[in-house]
């Protein structure tokens, strides 16, 4: 049986899912100096020109995604770098897990 | 050289000026009399241990010599609060103080009984100091008075003889640094020592200029934090025409600030390497060389962990000292200091010296000084950073706000460090907080991270027990400001009060608990710099925000109450 949160993520609009992810990133990583809405859908998460997150942040984010959407995303996941590159790609990955 | 243990047996003229207390001179005769009176009282107590808890440096000079001549073991606590006094009394010590502490023996006001002051054995006189705790919990350190006299003997070896000089020491005498340089060194050389305590580095310069004859060497014993403020203060030029020696210890000397002072005044610099635990280790002229020259009779041995072991006559026989720094020993017997061994942290399995990150940050055109801390964020260790901006950095903050400044610093660090070693949280302040010994006040730095959002950038210009004057830059992109009248942004009163409270907590240990009245005359626009002028009368706090430092262009005025 699919998780309710994941089902909602599937049926909700991409815009709403990204909005949820914005909050998740800021809360999980306790980011200061940036509000959720300031993280654009295409803001690079791990580049110095974007949020500048590091590998430990990626792990923490992976755990938070698993808790929230019951999806598993680890270093072994195929194209993991690409999935984590922006919120838009992360949203696409979450939706793909529901298919 | 007069050994302090035999000071009162030396033949010294009765009218020799020994100490300056504010504008008064204390002669040898008066100092001896005050010491005799207190030593008699202490000898009558039959106690074995005395804790000296003084606020006034001259009273400390009296209390120390009286306790030594009364044959007591001496504790020099890390603070002078009543709870500490009570604890020490419960442990069997008597307390001597110039404060109204319950059960304490006062320093002045005793009968003149003609008590003699025979020489005492310095090797049997034990003292226990407490370190500042700048890198953790304060440590208790044992030294004998003979060890302190050894420090004097080593120092004599590097100083010219027979100078006409007056010593101005910015450290309180009850710390090891203050005892040696503010008290014992002037006594041993028969020169005047100023006992006035200086909270404000700016007042200090004016006083030297006013009190010391122009031909007399003004011998300033100080710490890097004072040197930074002097370098930024145009009044240093006042000391141009007089002989000036600046002796510095306690933390790495800011070389650019020292070079600026030397250009303006022709001062000579002596930098001392050592600590309460180790005593003197080495010295150098910081503007001429990076190499440290060990004092004669001090031996350095590399230890297995890359640090060094010190053997010296300045520490009790049979004991060794470990200063916690790594050193590169050179073939000529000198050494170079490397980052502190205990300053290395492990983040995400990577070892890094916090000092190294600070050094990297300080190479940025936007950073004057930096401190990097290891903190816990949820269950993870992260690095955080506090930066003091250069004028260019301050301009960036003023024009573009905190995010742009932070990004510039992260961009700078990214050239040298992997992402996991880039500080995750940032705070910006106008000057690095220091404790009474001039060392970076790490506890205050950690407290900056208690509040989540961008705080105003505060630069303290003056802080005394009665008055604080600071400059505040309210950032445009502070979450306190954004959304507050977006078309015509103004700094909200709550943020102004928060900045006032930060200052009162830092300097007076009390926040603001109540606003009695406050009036905003004209709005402070984010990006503006304003002067905060706080005057304290008991618990009453008069507050003035002004666009000029003299308070003549008020933006806000009020009366608040300080928490007791």
- Tell which wins on pLDDT, B535 or B416: B535
- Say if residue B353 is in the same domain as residue B390: yes
Has residue B80 been placed in a domain?
A: no
Find out whether A66 and A43 touch, Cβ atoms under 8 Å: no
Band the pLDDT of B179: cuts 50, 70, 90. Answer: very high
Scanning A17-56 for CB atoms below 8 A from B yields 30, 32-35, 46, 48, 52-56
Q: Report in angstroms the alpha-carbon separations of B468 from B21, B232, B547, B562.
A: 24, 18, 16, 14
Section B414-438 average pLDDT: 85
Question: Residue B135 has what pLDDT?
Answer: 47
Q: Which two tokens stand for residue B274?
A: 């050592």
Question: Residue B98 has what pLDDT?
Answer: 92
End-to-end CA distance of chain A: 13
CATH of the domain at B376: 3.30.300.30
Indicate whether B134 pLDDT > 60. no
| B374 vs A: CB within 8 A | no
Section B184-193 average pLDDT: 94
Band the pLDDT of A95: cuts 50, 70, 90. Answer: confident
Has residue B380 been placed in a domain?
A: yes
Subunit contact A54:B403, Cβ cutoff 8 A: no
- Say if residue B355 is in the same domain as residue B446: yes
Question: Residue B388 has what pLDDT?
Answer: 94
Query: Chain B residues with CB inside 8 Å of A60's CB?
Result: 378, 380
Q: Give the list of residues 6+ apart from residue B546 with CB closer than 8 angstroms, or none.
A: B530, B531, B533, B552, B553, B554, B555
Q: What is the pLDDT of residues A20-54, one digit of tens each?
A: 999 999 988 888 878 888 899 999 998 877 888 88
Subunit contact B348:A55, Cβ cutoff 8 A: yes
Q: Rounded distance, CA B541 to CA B514, Å?
A: 10
Query: Chain A residues with CB inside 8 Å of B348's CB?
Result: 54-56
Q: What is the pLDDT of residues B532-555, one digit of tens each?
A: 999 998 889 999 999 888 888 888
Section A60-75 average pLDDT: 82
Tell me how many residue pairs between chain A and chain B have CB atoms under 8 A apart: 36
- Say if residue B548 is in the same domain as residue B458: yes
Indicate whether B485 pLDDT > 50. yes
Question: Residue B141 has what pLDDT?
Answer: 87
Beta strands in B256-318 (DSSP E): 268-275, 279-284, 293-294, 299-302, 308-311
CA angle B76, B79, B80 (to 5 degrees): 90
Domain boundary among B412, B434, B450: B450
Q: Rounded distance, CA B470 to CA B490, Å?
A: 20
Scanning B309-368 for CB atoms below 8 A from A yields 348
- Say if residue B377 is in the same domain as residue B477: no
Q: What range does the domain containing A70 cover?
A: 4-33+42-98
- Say if residue B356 is in the same domain as residue B462: no
- Say if residue B442 is in the same domain as residue B499: no
- How many structural domains does chain A have? 1
Has residue B556 been placed in a domain?
A: yes
Find out whether A70 and A63 touch, Cβ atoms under 8 Å: no
Question: Residue B32 has what pLDDT?
Answer: 95
Q: What range does the domain containing B374 cover?
A: 348-450
- Say if residue B446 is in the same domain as residue B395: yes
Section B506-535 average pLDDT: 85
Section B418-424 average pLDDT: 88
Band the pLDDT of A15: cuts 50, 70, 90. Answer: confident
Q: What is the pLDDT of residues B107-123, one digit of tens each?
A: 988 988 776 788 899 99
Residue from B352, B380, B413 to probe the interface with A (highest A Cβ count within 10 Å): B380
Band the pLDDT of B454: cuts 50, 70, 90. Answer: low
Band the pLDDT of A1: cuts 50, 70, 90. Answer: very low
**C-alpha B30: how far from chain center:** 30
> How many residues belong to chain A?
99
Section B28-51 average pLDDT: 94
- Say if residue B468 is in the same domain as residue B564: yes
* pLDDT-above-90 percentage for chain B: 43
Q: What is the pLDDT of residues B302-322, one digit of tens each?
A: 876 667 889 999 988 888 888
Band the pLDDT of B153: cuts 50, 70, 90. Answer: very high
Question: Residue B100 has what pLDDT?
Answer: 87
Domain boundary among B403, B424, B450: B450
pTM greater than 0.90 (yes/no): no
- How many structural domains does chain B have? 2
Indicate whether B136 pLDDT > 70. no
Mean pLDDT of all residues in chain B? 86
Has residue B288 been placed in a domain?
A: no
Nearest to B410 among A30, A52, A55 (CB): A52
- Say if residue B422 is in the same domain as residue B486: no
The most confident of the ranges A58-67, B198-207, B288-297 is B288-297
- Say if residue B403 is in the same domain as residue B492: no
Query: Chain A residues with CB inside 8 Å of B420's CB?
Result: 54-56
Torsion-angle region of B474 (φ positive above 0: left; ψ -120 to 50: alpha; else: beta): beta
Section B189-204 average pLDDT: 80
Section B268-291 average pLDDT: 91
Domain boundary among B396, B428, B450: B450
- Tell which wins on pLDDT, B349 or B404: B404
CATH of the domain at B483: 3.10.129.10
CATH of the domain at A72: 1.10.1200
**What are the backbone angles phi and psi of residue B72, rounded to the nearest 5°?**
-95, 150
Band the pLDDT of B524: cuts 50, 70, 90. Answer: confident
């Amino acid at each position: 049986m699919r998780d309710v949160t994941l089902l909602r993520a599937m049926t909700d609009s991409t815009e709403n899912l990204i909005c949820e992810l914005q909050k998740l990133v800021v809360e999980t990583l306790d980011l200061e100096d940036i509000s959720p809405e300031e993280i654009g859908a295409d803001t690079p998460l791990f580049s110095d020109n974007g949020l500048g997150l590091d590998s430990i942040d990626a792990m923490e984010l992976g755990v938070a995604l698993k808790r929230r959407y019951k999806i598993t995303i680890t270093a072994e996941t195929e194209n993991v770098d690409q999935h984590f590159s922006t919120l838009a790609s992360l949203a696409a990955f979450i939706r793909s897990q529901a298919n | 050289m007069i050994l302090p243990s035999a000071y009162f047996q030396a033949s010294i003229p009765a009218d020799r000026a020994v100490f300056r207390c504010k504008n008064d001179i204390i002669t040898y005769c008066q100092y001896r009399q005050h010491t005799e009176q207190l030593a008699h009282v202490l000898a009558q107590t039959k106690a074995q241990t005395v804790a000296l808890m003084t606020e006034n440096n001259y009273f400390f000079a009296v209390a120390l010599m009286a306790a030594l001549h009364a044959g007591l073991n001496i504790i020099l606590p890390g603070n002078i609060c009543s709870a500490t006094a009570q604890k020490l009394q419960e442990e069997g010590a008597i307390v001597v103080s110039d404060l109204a502490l319950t059960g304490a023996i006062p320093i002045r006001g005793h009968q003149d009984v003609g008590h003699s002051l025979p020489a005492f054995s310095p090797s049997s006189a034990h003292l226990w100091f407490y370190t500042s705790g700048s890198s953790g919990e304060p440590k208790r350190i044992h030294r004998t008075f003979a060890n302190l006299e050894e420090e004097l003997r080593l120092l004599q070896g590097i100083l010219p003889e027979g100078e006409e000089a007056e010593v101005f020491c910015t450290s309180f005498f009850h710390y090891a640094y203050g005892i040696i340089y503010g008290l014992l060194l002037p006594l041993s050389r028969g020169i005047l020592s100023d006992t006035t305590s200086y909270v404000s580095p700016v007042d200090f310069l004016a006083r030297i200029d006013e009190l010391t004859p122009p031909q007399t060497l003004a011998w300033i014993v100080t710490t890097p934090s004072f040197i930074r403020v002097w370098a930024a203060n145009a009044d240093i030029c006042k000391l141009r025409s007089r002989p000036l020696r600046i002796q510095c210890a306690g933390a790495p000397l800011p070389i650019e600030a020292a070079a600026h002072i030397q250009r303006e005044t022709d001062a000579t610099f002596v930098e001392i390497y050592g600590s309460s635990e180790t005593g003197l280790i080495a010295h150098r002229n910081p503007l001429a060389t990076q190499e440290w020259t060990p004092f004669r009779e001090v031996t350095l041995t590399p230890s297995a962990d890359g640090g060094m072991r010190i053997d010296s006559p300045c520490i009790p026989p049979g004991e060794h000292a470990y200063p916690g720094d790594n050193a590169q020993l050179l073939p000529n017997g000198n050494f170079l200091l490397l980052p502190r061994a205990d300053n290395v942290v492990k983040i995400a399995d990577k070892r890094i010296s916090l000092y190294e990150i600070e050094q990297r940050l300080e190479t940025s055109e936007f950073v004057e000084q930096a401190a990097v801390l290891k903190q816990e964020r949820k269950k993870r260790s992260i690095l955080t950073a506090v930066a003091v901006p250069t004028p260019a950095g301050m301009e960036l903050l003023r024009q573009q706000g905190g995010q742009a400044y932070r990004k510039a610093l992260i961009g700078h660090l990214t050239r040298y460090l992997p992402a996991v070693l880039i500080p995750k949280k940032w705070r910006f302040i106008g000057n690095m907080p220091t404790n009474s010994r001039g060392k970076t006040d790490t506890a205050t730095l950690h407290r900056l991270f208690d509040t989540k959002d961008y705080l105003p950038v505060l630069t303290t210009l003056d802080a005394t027990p009665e008055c604080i004057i600071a400059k505040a830059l309210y950032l445009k992109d502070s979450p306190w400001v954004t959304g507050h009248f977006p078309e015509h942004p103004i700094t909200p009163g709550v943020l102004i009060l928060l900045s006032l409270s930060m200052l009162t907590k830092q300097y007076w240990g009390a926040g603001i608990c109540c606003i009695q009245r406050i009036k905003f005359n004209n709005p402070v626009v984010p990006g503006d710099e304003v002067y905060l002028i706080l005057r304290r009368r008991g618990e009453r706090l008069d507050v003035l925000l002004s666009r000029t430092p003299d308070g003549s262009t008020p933006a806000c005025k009020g009366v608040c109450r300080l928490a007791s």
